[in-house]
Amino acid sequence: MIKISVESASKYEGKEVKIPGWVYNFRSSGSIYFLQVRDGSGFIQAIVNKAEVSDKAWSACEKITLESSVELSGKISKHPKKEEYELQVSDIKITQLAEEYPIGKKDHGPDFLLDMRHLWLRSTKQWAIQRVRNTIINSIYEFLNKEGYIKIDSPILTPNACEGTTTLFEMDYFDLGKAYLAQSGQLYIEAAIFSHGKVFDFGPVFRAEKSKTRRHLTEFWMMDAEAANVEHEENMKIQEELICFIIKKVLAENQKELEILERDVEPLKKIRPPFGRMTHAEAVKKLQKLGSDIKEDDDLGGDDETLLTKDSPVPIFVEKWPAKIKAFYMKRDASGKVALCDDLIAIEGFGEIIGGSQREDDYDTLLKRIKEQKLPLKDFQWYLDLRKYGSVPHSGFGVGLERLVGWLCGTPHVRETIPFPRMINRLRP
Ligand code: 4AD
Ligand code: MG
């Protein structure tokens, strides 16, 4: 008998098959058992009729508990009314009879569920979120490969900070002093553009963020992209195209998952280029008019981001920020006061999903900046070197994977968008 996945059941209508899976729900009506079974690829109802199975199989059925692993044999049939397939069971074997499952039908609080994360991952919504995450990861690779980007893996243990020194995880590194967990691979992939032109990395990054918001994790996944001979304006166009590509893929490939998540897809369907654009100064003015107490040189808070995009059908680039509140590596405009950078703010209150900028490509300017900010010159000399040997204008950006997953799934807290979230108050499981 052929072993199949639930996902492919429609191809086996009328055929005898074997399906290994887990029982996530069941009910009985005297001589019939209805088992709700999932196998990772999908969900199927298995019908066990006492009259049609052996006594052994029937008594196995009577013992069944939630989350028991089973191997079912039977014939695939089409649901009389719906576009769904069922399994008319001829035999059932229990692979492991599960103990009483701690996650029940009742509403559990988030702390309990996070303590049970190793089990919670099986729940239907959590299953759907990870499937969307998988599509997003694959579509990022697909887009970048199609555009000629080469993947360059950046190091996680680094001697220097990329995004300021306040959120660094620090450790002793043998006899060489301190090492830090990477906050972004950007500085390293900048080196690789001089070899490959267009490059990206995609991996875990770490921020010792003291913030306890629904948008902050201490370990999250970032895709940094970087390209030679790309300036600020073109950098934003690439981000716009990437995001549109990802949304299209998710809408096409994850209909079922988005339905499970009860995600209203209409706002996503309407997203297309060009995205909104406003300078930081314009954003501040607009926010002040809307009642925010934000000031000229302030970062945007979560509430500001929500307010700013409230009536926009497309994400908004907030560009050209005051240089003094942005990173040392960003190129500035002619005035020297404004950084040629952008934060891409999603719609529907999901906040910043991308941070990017053109990079300072002049040796002396960058050296001055590093000295002004009292960064350790010896650890940045290699980065300065890149401006000595064939320097070119270049730009890049970093996508926060969990924020993007959260937005597309309509999941407000990023803790559900990563398999095992790390936050200031959570390291387990
Ligand atoms: O804006 P950020 O800090 O930019 C950088 O790190 C640049 N070096 C990237 C680059 O230019 N290559 O981070 C990029 C994105 C943010 O827009 C946000 O989506 C996400 O990473 N992010 C976080 N996500 C979850 N938890 C946190 N603590 C995050 N901090 C940033
Ligand atoms: Mg940012």
Task: Please give the full DSSP string across 164-184, using - where no structure is assigned.
Answer: -STT--EEE-TTS-EEEE-S-
Please tell me whether residues 207 and 345 are part of one structural domain: yes
Cβ of residue 344 lying under 6 Å from some atom of ligand 1: no
| pLDDT mean over 257-267 | 98
Phi-psi region of 84 (alpha: psi -120 to 50; beta: other; left: phi over 0): beta
User: Residue 405 maps to which CATH number?
Assistant: 3.30.930.10
What is the CA 175 to chain-centroid distance, rounded? Answer: 37
Could you give the 3-state DSSP secondary structure of residue 238? helix
According to DSSP, the residues that pair with 358 across neighbouring strands are: 395
Cα 219 to Cα 120: distance, rounded to the nearest angstrom: 20
Atom of ligand 1 lying closest to residue 183 CA = 6
Same domain, 89 and 121: no
pLDDT digits (tens, 9 = 90+) for 286-317: 999 999 999 999 999 999 999 999 999 999 99
**Dist. CA 278 → ligand 1 center (Å):** 20
C-alpha–C-alpha distance, residues 414 and 337, integer Å: 34
Give residue 163 CA to ligand 1 midpoint distance, Å.
Answer: 9
- Please name which ligand lies nearest the alpha carbon of 345: 1
Binding site membership of 403 for ligand 1 (Cβ less than 6 Å): yes
Number of domains, the chain: 2
Query: What's the gap in Å between 92 CA and the centre of ligand 1?
Result: 49
On the question of pLDDT at 105 being above 80, the answer is no
Mean of pLDDT values over 327-344: 97
CA-wise closest residue to 408 among 231, 242, 207, 264: 264
For 80, residues 6+ apart whose C-beta sits below 8 A from its C-beta are none
Does the beta carbon of 220 lie inside 6 Å of ligand 1? yes
Residue 428 lies in a domain: no
Pocket test for ligand 1, best of 140, 352, 397 (most atoms within 8 A of CB): 352
Rg of the chain, C-alpha, whole Å: 26
Does residue 159 lie within any of the structural domains? yes
Q: Please indicate whether residue 406, judged by its CB atom, sits closer than 6 Å to ligand 1.
A: no
Per-residue pLDDT of 113-133, as tens digits, reads 999 999 999 999 999 999 999
Statement: residue 160 has pLDDT above 90: no
DSSP class of residue 155 equals: P
Shared domain check, 139 and 82: no
Atom 4 of ligand 1 has which residue's CA nearest to it?
A: 355
pLDDT at 165: 79
The number of the ligand nearest the C-alpha atom of 414 reads: 1
The residue nearest atom 9 of ligand 1, judged by CA position, is 398
Q: Which residues pair with 76 in a beta bridge?
A: 13, 87
Q: Do 134 and 66 share a structural domain?
A: no
Residue 80's domain comprises: 2-96
Among the ranges given (41-50, 98-107, 241-250, 393-402), the one the predictor scored with the smallest mean pLDDT = 98-107
pLDDT (0 to 100) of residue 89 = 98
Q: Which of 72-76, 77-81, 331-335 has the lowest mean pLDDT?
A: 77-81
Contacts for 263 with CB less than 8 Å, ≥ 6 apart: 408, 409, 410
Q: CB of 185 closer than 6 A to ligand 1?
A: no
Q: Is the same domain home to 67 and 156?
A: no
* pLDDT confidence band for 392 (50 / 70 / 90): very high
Same-domain check for residues 126 and 270: yes
Nearest-atom number in ligand 1 for the CA of 357 is: 11
Ligand 1, residue 403: give the atom nearest the CA.
Answer: 19
Domain end point (choices 35, 61, 96) = 96
Residues 112-123: b if buried by 16+ CB within 10 A, e if exposed:
ebbbbbeebebe
Q: What is the predicted pLDDT for the residue at 107?
A: 84
Mean pLDDT of 185-199: 98
